């Protein structure tokens, strides 16, 4: 049982790793393309935007199981086989690319347009804006998007496993479900839970580190106050509110 | 240094047209601090963004430092290499600072140098030098989130200076700051203007900003420049709205048979204590009803509303004396408030 679990876990990691790799490599440029060609974007092009948007939406509407079946000829053409972990990587990657591209689009859209203008005012072109502003500023959100994608892929890989893709899903299905090895099924599910938890925790940690740059010394309370303040309101009332606070601390 | 001629900007959205700029002619001389004031929606922001073509004007030309940027830009909506190069020599400071939170203060200042292709060592040297200039040498390794608003704007200014600009554009750079920080940032801009000979074009909705640092000013309304000139020229213009906003005087006569006179001091002759001279020479009692004065480089600039005893006919000679001193004197048409008050009192009694 041990080698079975070990090998199938490796297969799952193999599928998830390569699918994530392709999702990032193709999804980041695709997401950027969606943003840049959008109305008001740096490379505004309504036709390209609509076409890419439609392709992404079609890719996302396919139920994964159907997508796998539809892609069988394409997968055979690409990797020579449509079964096993290698065969599963192709549909996994193709399912996650549009998903991840939309997440990239949302992450990059959050970047303050003022920063783009600032770089343009310095004489920066589109590439400078992409590599010095959009990607670095969206990095925490992008890492969160990768985390979400990896976890989604772990789920998809289990589905892929059930139809001959290998990995933990295959193990749970063939041994656990078809041969009534309930113990093995439980162990597999626990392994998947552990895997998902580790990925989520690691992702959250990285996001926290990236987003927290420079805010270690400032208390979160202060940030809240600053946000609440309207631009018109001067900081004049601040000393007035601070004084009673200091007075209070002196008393206590 | 900056000249715009017939600058027009029309926004089209869903078939509707909004004219943000309606034929703006602006002339900013080399080495001066020029303030554009107006209420929000007057087109100030569009104007300053048209100067470095962040916003493409619908028609008209922009010339900065002898270079016609509108001709340079070509027809496409994307900035070509020539325009980008010209922009790198025009500094810009923003209301919300627009610093990259993912970069340290030093790396933020290095950003324009990276765009210019300056080598790493040289970038560091220049960035530290600029941070020293704005008084933030010790914050080089800090992140923007660790700085106060005023410090962030200093970083913004240091960053704007990285390309050795001759022109600095300031888009409401002090509007998000408290009054004290505003003063220190304005002082810094003034120092930079004097030390580096930097020409500054700033837009603001705060009259105080214009009063504190501007040599010249323009008032915008509905996409047009309705008044412009140096601060003393504006003061010398009878009925100037900008002068009235910059140096507001109020006050009503204390009784009937008084003459109320607005005296405008616009720098040239106003070094003498004229009011006390007037009082002594003609042996009259003068009361000051209101005044808005500033002393810049030993010269008094501003307005004062004074009250002379007696009707206008009796005060022709003293008024002539004031005019002889080179002051602009306007007889204010303000009614004695007494009858109105009396009426109110009667109403109250009923």
Which residues in chain A have Cβ-Cβ distances shorter than 8 Å to B94? 114, 117-118
- For B100, the closest of A115, A235, A236 (CB atoms) is A115
Share of chain A above pLDDT 90, in %: 54
Q: How far apart are CA A185 and CA A181, in angstroms?
A: 6
Q: Is B146 within 8 Å of A214 when comparing Cβ atoms?
A: yes
Residue A126 sits in a domain whose CATH number is 1.10.3720.10
Indicate if the pLDDT at residue A249 is higher than 60.
no
Residue A33 sits in which domain range? Answer: 2-113+120-212
Query: Six-digit token pair at A114?
Result: 């003022």
Indicate if the pLDDT at residue A40 is higher than 90.
no
Indicate if the pLDDT at residue A235 is higher than 50.
no
- For B79, the closest of A120, A210, A217 (CB atoms) is A120
Taking residues A99-117, report their average pLDDT.
95
For residues B349 and B91, which has the higher predicted lDDT (pLDDT)?
B91
Of B103, B234, B88, the C-alpha closest to B165 is: B88
Residue B195 confidence class, pLDDT cut points 50, 70, 90: very high
Indicate if the pLDDT at residue B185 is higher than 90.
yes
Quick check: helix, strand or coil at residue B348? helix
pLDDT number for residue A218: 40
pLDDT number for residue B271: 64
Taking an 8 Å Cβ-Cβ cutoff, which residues of chain B contact chain A? Answer: 52, 54, 77-79, 81, 84-88, 90, 92, 94-96, 98-104, 111-112, 114-116, 142-146, 149, 159, 162-163, 169, 175-179, 181
- Structural domains of chain A, count: 1
Q: Is residue A236 part of a domain?
A: no
Which residues in chain B have Cβ-Cβ distances shorter than 8 Å to A126? 78
Q: Which CB contacts under 8 angstroms, 24+ apart, belong to A172-181?
A: A175/A4
Query: Six-digit token pair at A107?
Result: 């992450």
Q: Is A122 within 8 Å of B54 when comparing Cβ atoms?
A: no
pLDDT number for residue B322: 86
Using an 8 Å Cβ cutoff, are B38 and B27 in contact?
no
Q: How far apart are CA B223 and CA B25, in angstroms?
A: 11
Q: Is residue A244 part of a domain?
A: no
Of B48, B30, B68, B2, the C-alpha closest to B220 is: B48
Indicate if the pLDDT at residue B296 is higher than 80.
no
Q: Is residue A93 part of a domain?
A: yes
Residue B298 confidence class, pLDDT cut points 50, 70, 90: low
Share of chain B above pLDDT 70, in %: 91
Residue A99's H or E segment, with its range, is helix A84-109
Which residues in chain B have Cβ-Cβ distances shorter than 8 Å to A119? 111, 115
For residues B245 and B194, which has the higher predicted lDDT (pLDDT)?
B194
In A86-117, which positions are buried (b, 16+ CB within 10 angstroms) versus exposed (e)? bbbbbbbbbbbbbbbbbbbbebbeebeeebbb
Q: Which of A36, A118, A211, A217 to mutate to test the interface with B (most CBs of B within 10 A)?
A: A118
Query: Six-digit token pair at B220?
Result: 């915008």
pLDDT number for residue B336: 59
Return the beta strands (E) in chain B as ranges.
2-13, 16-28, 33-37, 59-64, 67-68, 90-94, 167-171, 199-204, 216-221, 224-230, 258-266, 287-296, 299-309, 328-331
Taking residues B329-337, report their average pLDDT.
72
Q: Is A213 within 8 Å of B179 when comparing Cβ atoms?
A: no
Q: Is residue A187 part of a domain?
A: yes
Q: How far apart are CA B195 and CA A140, in angstroms?
A: 41
> In A, residues 36-65, which contact B (CB 8 Å cutoff)?
42-44
Residue B305, beta-bridge partner list = B262, B290
- Please name the residue of chain A whose CA is at the shortest distance from the CA of residue B112: A122
Indicate if the pLDDT at residue B59 is higher than 70.
yes
Using an 8 Å Cβ cutoff, are A100 and A27 in contact?
yes
Q: Is residue A228 part of a domain?
A: no
The dihedrals phi and psi of B298, each to the nearest 5 degrees, come to 80, -5
Residue B221, beta-bridge partner list = B224
Structural domains of chain B in order of their starting residue, each with its CATH number = 2-236 (3.40.50.300), 247-331 (3.30.70.260)
Q: Is residue A205 part of a domain?
A: yes
Minimal C-alpha gap between A236 and chain B (Å): 6
Q: Which of B56, B145, B162, B168 to mutate to test the interface with A (most CBs of A within 10 A)?
A: B145
Other beta carbons within 10 angstroms of residue B333's beta carbon come to 7
Indicate if the pLDDT at residue B334 is higher than 90.
no
CB-based contact, A133 to chain B, within 8 Å: yes
Using an 8 Å Cβ cutoff, are A64 and A159 in contact?
yes
Quick check: helix, strand or coil at residue B36? strand
Q: Is A124 within 8 Å of B115 when comparing Cβ atoms?
A: yes
Q: How far apart are CA B67 and CA B117, in angstroms?
A: 22
Q: How far apart are CA B31 and CA B2, in angstroms?
A: 11
Residue A196 confidence class, pLDDT cut points 50, 70, 90: very high
Q: Is A112 within 8 Å of B98 when comparing Cβ atoms?
A: yes
Q: Is residue A233 part of a domain?
A: no
pLDDT number for residue B76: 64
Indicate if the pLDDT at residue A183 is higher than 90.
no
Share of chain B above pLDDT 90, in %: 51
Q: Is residue A243 part of a domain?
A: no
Taking residues A9-38, report their average pLDDT.
95
Minimal C-alpha gap between A240 and chain B (Å): 13
Q: Is B177 within 8 Å of A238 when comparing Cβ atoms?
A: no
Q: Which segment of A170-179, B20-29, B71-80, B246-255 scores lowest on mean pLDDT?
A: B71-80
Minimal C-alpha gap between A191 and chain B (Å): 36
Using an 8 Å Cβ cutoff, are B228 and B240 in contact?
no
Using an 8 Å Cβ cutoff, are B291 and B249 in contact?
yes
pTM above 0.90, yes or no: no
- Please name the residue of chain A whose CA is at the shortest distance from the CA of residue B164: A122
Residue A30's H or E segment, with its range, is helix A2-36
Average pLDDT, chain B: 87
Q: Is B178 within 8 Å of A235 when comparing Cβ atoms?
A: yes
Q: How far apart are CA B181 and CA B186, in angstroms?
A: 8
Q: How far apart are CA A65 and CA A54, in angstroms?
A: 21
Taking residues B2-11, report their average pLDDT.
92
Average pLDDT, chain A: 83
Indicate if the pLDDT at residue B345 is higher than 60.
no
Q: How far apart are CA B234 and CA B242, in angstroms?
A: 7
DSSP letters, B214-236, are -SEEEEEETTEEEEEEEHHHHHH
pLDDT number for residue B337: 56
Q: How far apart are CA B38 and CA B221, in angstroms?
A: 6
Q: How far apart are CA A249 and CA A242, in angstroms?
A: 11
Indicate if the pLDDT at residue A241 is higher than 80.
no
Indicate if the pLDDT at residue B226 is higher than 80.
yes
Q: What is the pLDDT of residues A81-92, one digit of tens each?
A: 888 888 999 999
Using an 8 Å Cβ cutoff, are B192 and B184 in contact?
no
Q: How far apart are CA A39 and CA B213, in angstroms?
A: 40
Residue B16, beta-bridge partner list = B13
pLDDT number for residue B268: 62
Taking residues B259-280, report their average pLDDT.
79
Tokens 């007057």, located at residue: B42
Q: What value of ipTM does the predicted structure carry?
A: 0.82
Q: Is A122 within 8 Å of B111 when comparing Cβ atoms?
A: yes
Share of chain A above pLDDT 70, in %: 84
Do β-strands B224-230 and B90-94 pair in parallel, antiparallel, or remain unpaired?
Answer: unpaired
- For A115, the closest of B98, B115, B179 (CB atoms) is B98
Show Cβ contacts of residue B234 under 8 Å, excluding neighbours closer than 6 positions: B217, B227, B240, B242, B243, B246
> In A, residues 177-196, which contact B (CB 8 Å cutoff)?
none
């Amino acid at each position: 049982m041990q080698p079975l679990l070990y090998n199938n876990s490796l297969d799952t990691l193999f599928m998830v790793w390569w699918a994530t790799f392709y999702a990032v490599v193709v999804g980041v440029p695709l997401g950027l393309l969606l943003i840049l060609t959008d109305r008001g974007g740096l490379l505004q092009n309504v036709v390209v935007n609509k076409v890419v948007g439609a392709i992404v939406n079609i890719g996302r509407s396919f139920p994964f199981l159907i997508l796998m079946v539809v892609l069988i000829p394409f997968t055979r053409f690409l990797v020579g086989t449509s079964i096993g972990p290698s065969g599963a990587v192709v549909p996994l990657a193709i399912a996650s690319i549009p998903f991840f591209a939309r997440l990239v689009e949302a992450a990059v859209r959050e970047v303050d347009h003022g920063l783009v203008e600032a770089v343009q005012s310095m004489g920066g072109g589109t590439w400078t804006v992409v590599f010095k502003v959009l990607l670095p500023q969206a990095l925490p959100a992008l890492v969160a998007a990768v985390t979400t994608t990896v976890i989604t892929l772990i789920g998809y890989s289990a589905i892929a496993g059930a139809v001959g893709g290998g990995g933990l899903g295959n193990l749970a299905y063939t041994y656990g479900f078809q041969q009534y090895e309930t113990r093995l099924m439980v162990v597999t599910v626990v392994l998947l839970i552990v895997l998902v938890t580790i990925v989520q925790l690691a992702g959250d940690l990285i996001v926290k580190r990236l987003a927290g740059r420079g805010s270690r010394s400032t208390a979160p309370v202060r940030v809240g106050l600053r946000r609440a303040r309207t631009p018109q309101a001067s900081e004049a009332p601040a000393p007035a509110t601070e004084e009673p606070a200091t007075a209070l601390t002196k008393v206590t | 240094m900056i000249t715009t001629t017939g600058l027009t900007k029309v926004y089209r959205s869903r078939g509707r047209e909004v004219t943000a700029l309606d034929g703006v002619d602006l002339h900013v001389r080399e080495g001066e601090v020029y303030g554009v004031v107006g209420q929000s929606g007057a087109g100030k922001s569009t104007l300053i963004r048209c100067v470095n073509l962040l916003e493409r004007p619908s028609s008209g030309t922009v010339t900065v430092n002898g270079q016609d940027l509108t001709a340079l830009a070509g027809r496409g909506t994307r900035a070509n290499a020539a325009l980008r190069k010209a922009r790198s020599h025009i500094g810009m400071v923003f209301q919300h600072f627009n610093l990259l939170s993912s970069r340290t203060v030093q790396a933020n200042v290095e950003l324009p140098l990276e765009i210019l292709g300056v080598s790493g060592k040289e970038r560091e040297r220049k960035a530290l030098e600029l941070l020293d200039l704005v008084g933030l040498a010790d914050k080089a390794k800090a992140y923007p989130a660790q700085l106060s608003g005023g410090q962030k704007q200093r970083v913004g200014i240091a960053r704007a200076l990285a390309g050795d600009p001759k022109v600095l554009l300031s888009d409401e750079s002090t509007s998000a700051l408290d009054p004290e920080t505003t003063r220190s940032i304005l002082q810094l801009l003034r120092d930079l203007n004097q030390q580096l000979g930097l020409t500054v074009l700033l837009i603001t909705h705060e009259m105080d900003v214009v009063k504190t640092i501007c040599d010249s000013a323009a008032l915008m309304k509905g996409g047009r420049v309705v008044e412009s000139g140096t601060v003393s020229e504006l003061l010398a213009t009878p009925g100037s709205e900008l002068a009235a906003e910059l140096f507001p005087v109020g006050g009503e006569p204390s009784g009937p048979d008084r003459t109320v006179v607005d005296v405008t001091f616009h720098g040239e002759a106003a070094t003498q204590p004229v009011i006390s001279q007037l009082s002594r020479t003609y042996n009259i009692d003068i009361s000051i009803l209101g005044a808005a004065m500033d002393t810049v480089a030993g010269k008094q600039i501003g307005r004062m509303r004074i009250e002379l005893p007696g009707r206008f006919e009796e005060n022709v000679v003293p008024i002539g004396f004031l005019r002889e001193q080179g002051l602009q004197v306007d007889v204010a048409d303000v009614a004695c408030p007494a009858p109105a008050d009396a009426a109110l009192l009667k109403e109250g009694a009923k």
